């Protein structure tokens, strides 16, 4: 496997960062996860823009242009002869000294991995996935803007551990007001009375690229879809539920905290949107 690291392609075993990189020392950095379908980088511009927006919000200078970042991804795909898979694009603060100050890191590091990813067992895409509501709350926007896709995922990892301890693959996180925000690495949608609902950005979520695509697919299909505050009680009482994310794609949820959602079967609107999503990526 070839890794693109700071301007050159290296073998996986040789692609190394300094232990003094603030990405490693402090989780100081930003990243993107991006799908590749049939040789095409899915929603490439949206991901590159979000990477630069995340970096700007934490005052991290990416030492390449947007075009160079796209070329780095294309070179990595070509070097690995990959046409379908998952790209991990990472920008760290770079090598510095001990101590938090990012000003001690003269230049950020960029690397690109092209690999495969499977978050949840394949059969759950058909039959639905059980999840829990985590006790761990999602980081408040007053602490760290959740729209920054940063290398600090410990908040999400703590919730993921709760899910794994409970024997399920995913956890829904509430924000500090007790409203539904998102899953540990996915956005959430519920369906109630034929309408599709997803928490607003103000609920403290990462603005998912897949979330936006699904909202557009709803609009194109004439399905009412809106951003609305969702309380845990509304989650349990939903007719249907699904999660969206680059790695997850669109996965139906059929059980929350051991309670079946409606009949416990994957519902018709979820099925329709999952089908529309796969048609969209193959277009």
Q: So which residues are the catalytic ones?
A: 149
C-alpha to C-alpha distance for 198 and 190, rounded to whole angstroms: 6
- Residue closer to ligand PMP (CB basis): 152 or 229: 152
**Three-class SS state of 24:** helix
249 binds ligand PMP (CB under 6 A): no
CB atoms within 10 A of CB 278: 14
- Residue closer to ligand PMP (CB basis): 105 or 198: 198
- Residue closer to ligand PMP (CB basis): 111 or 189: 189
| Contact pattern from residue 129 through residue 168 relative to ligand PMP, giving x for each residue in contact according to CB under 6 A and a dash for the rest | ---------------------------x------------
Q: Which of 94, 96, 185, 252 binds ligand PMP (CB under 6 A)?
A: 185
Instruction: Give per-residue burial for 29-56: e unless 16+ CB within 10 Å, then b.
Output: bbbbbbbbeeeebbbbebbbebbbebbe
Q: Which of 163, 186, 204, 217 binds ligand PMP (CB under 6 A)?
A: 186
C-alpha to C-alpha distance for 156 and 123, rounded to whole angstroms: 24
199 binds ligand PMP (CB under 6 A): no
Q: How far is the CB of 20 from ligand PMP (least distance, A)?
A: 26
| Contact pattern from residue 87 through residue 126 relative to ligand PMP, giving x for each residue in contact according to CB under 6 A and a dash for the rest | ----------------------------------------
Q: What is the DSSP string of 98-151?
A: SSS-GGG--S-EEEEEEE----S-TTHHHH-EEEEE-SSPPPPTTTS-TTS-BS
Q: Running DSSP on this structure, what letter comes out for residue 267?
A: P
Length of the chain in terms of residues written: 283
Q: Which of 182, 196, 203, 218 binds ligand PMP (CB under 6 A)?
A: 182
Which residues of the shown chain bind ligand PMP in the complex (CB under 6 A)? 33, 156, 182, 185-187, 206, 208-211, 244-247
């Amino acid at each position: 496997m070839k890794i693109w690291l700071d301007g050159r392609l290296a073998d996986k075993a040789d692609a190394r960062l300094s232990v003094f990189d603030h990405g490693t020392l402090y989780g100081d950095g930003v990243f993107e996860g991006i799908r590749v379908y049939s040789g095409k980088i899915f929603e490439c511009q949206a991901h590159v823009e979000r990477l630069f927006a995340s970096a700007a919000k934490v005052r991290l200078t990416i030492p390449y242009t947007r075009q160079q970042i796209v070329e780095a991804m294309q070179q990595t795909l070509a070097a690995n002869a990959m046409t379908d898979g998952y790209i991990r694009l990472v920008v760290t603060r770079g090598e510095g000294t001990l101590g938090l100050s990012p000003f001690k890191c003269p230049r950020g590091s960029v690397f690109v991995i092209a690999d495969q990813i499977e978050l949840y067992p394949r059969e759950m895409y058909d039959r639905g996935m059980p999840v829990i509501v985590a006790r761990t709350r999602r980081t408040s926007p007053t602490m760290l803007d959740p729209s920054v896709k940063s290398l600090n995922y410990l908040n999400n990892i703590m919730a993921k551990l709760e899910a794994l301890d409970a024997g399920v693959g995913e956890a829904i996180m509430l924000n500090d007001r007790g409203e539904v925000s998102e899953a540990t690495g996915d956005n959430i949608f519920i369906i109630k009375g034929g309408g599709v609902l997803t928490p607003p950005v103000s609920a403290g979520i990462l603005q998912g690229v897949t979330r936006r695509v699904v909202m557009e697919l709803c609009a194109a299909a004439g399905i009412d879809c809106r951003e609305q505050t969702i309380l845990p009680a509304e989650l349990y009482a939903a007719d249907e539920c699904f999660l969206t994310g680059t790695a997850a794609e669109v996965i139906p949820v059929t059980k929350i905290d051991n309670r079946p959602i409606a009949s416990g079967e994957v519902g018709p609107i979820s099925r329709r949107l999952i089908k529309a999503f796969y048609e969209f990526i193959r277009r």
